[in-house]
């Protein structure tokens, strides 16, 4: 792994995914932009609140023949809670998001085709999304079930966008009876759409999980 040094504190700044422009220094919370071999400090990220997520940077997953590794995390907060979104780089180069909620996981990869759907176009233009709005993605019908205004609470690792305090986004989760998931996120940079599935941790065939103090990792996951 290539390694750089934090321009702010000088600590080692591992490059987990050279294709990603932003990295958070694990020691001083400085957000570093890497561009054309240059390192630039763009601000300070809030320290991540303690949590008991079993995922950590370096955790691997394998699903449907695709292997991926966690390279970064952003934590979002909304009026009634907060959640983690882990960013993964797949072996085939694809980018994945792994959202954590209620002890369950939503694994998605980018699916831009739904941005052509008028209801989502309308949302992308800044209009509110109607709950119960139903869209078709990759042959599956999904219904908007969860709409949240969220603010960035902190980050770690390598990420595709800056995670400074004050960054906000609107997230719409679509789901269906089969357990499919579509996440549409709108922020200052535009709107992106991510399609995938809901699963439990075992369904991700995870490796290199975090050892949580006071808990024994189930043998099936260790």
Q: Which residues bind other proteins (CB under 8 A)?
A: 49-54, 77, 80-82, 84, 102-104, 145-146, 175-179, 198-202, 209-210, 212-218, 221
CB of 141 to other proteins, least distance (A): 12
Q: Least separation, in Å, of the C-beta of 216 and other proteins?
A: 6
> Smaller CB distance to other proteins: residue 145 or 208?
145
Task: Compute the distance between CA of residue 169 and CA of residue 183 in angstroms, rounded to an integer.
Answer: 12
**d(Cα 121, Cα 216) in Å, to the nearest integer?**
46
Closest CB to other proteins among residues 53, 191:
53
Q: Is 7 or 203 the residue whose CB approaches other proteins more closely? A: 203
Cβ neighbours for 86, distance < 8 A, ≥ 6 positions apart: 55, 59, 70, 72, 73, 97, 98, 99, 100
Choice between 36 and 50, CB closer to other proteins: 50
Q: How far is the CB of 169 from other proteins (least distance, A)?
A: 18
User: Minimum distance from CB of 139 to other proteins (Å)?
Assistant: 17
In sign, the C-alpha dihedral spanning 184, 185, 188, 189 is negative
Residue carrying structure tokens 């800044």? 126
Rank residues 19 and 49 by Cβ distance to other proteins and give the closer one.
49
For residue 4, the minimal CB distance to other proteins (Å) is 24
Rounded to 5 degrees, what angle do the CA atoms 173, 153, 4 make?
A: 110
In the complex, the smallest distance separating the C-beta of residue 202 from other proteins, rounded to whole angstroms, is 8
- Residue 120 host element (H or E): helix 118-124
The CA distance from 154 to 76, in Å, is 8
CA 30/CA 42 separation, integer angstroms: 7
Question: Toward other proteins, which CB reaches closer, 80 or 92?
Answer: 80
What's the rounded Cα separation, in Å, for the pair 76 and 91? 26
């Amino acid at each position: 792994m290539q390694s750089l040094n934090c321009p702010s504190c000088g600590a080692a700044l591992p490059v987990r995914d050279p294709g990603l422009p932003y990295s958070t220094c694990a020691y001083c919370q400085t957000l570093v932009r890497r561009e054309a071999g240059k390192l630039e400090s763009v601000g300070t990220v809030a320290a991540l609140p303690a949590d008991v997520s079993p995922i950590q940077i370096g955790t691997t997953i394998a699903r449907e023949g695709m292997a991926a590794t966690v390279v970064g995390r952003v934590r979002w907060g909304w009026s009634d809670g907060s959640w983690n979104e882990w960013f993964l780089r797949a072996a085939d180069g694809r980018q994945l998001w792994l959202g954590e909620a209620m002890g369950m996981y939503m694994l998605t990869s980018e699916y831009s085709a739904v941005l052509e759907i008028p209801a989502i176009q309308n949302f992308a233009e800044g209009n509110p999304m109607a709950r119960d709005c139903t869209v078709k993605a990759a042959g599956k019908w999904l219904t908007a079930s969860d709409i949240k205004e969220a603010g960035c609470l902190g980050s770690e690792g390598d990420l595709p966008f800056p995670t400074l305090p004050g960054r906000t986004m609107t997230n719409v989760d679509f789901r269906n009876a089969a357990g499919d998931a579509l996440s549409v996120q709108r922020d200052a940079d535009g709107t992106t759409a991510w399609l995938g599935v809901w699963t439990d941790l075992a369904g991700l065939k995870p490796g290199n999980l975090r050892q949580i103090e006071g808990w024994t990792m189930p043998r099936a996951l260790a």
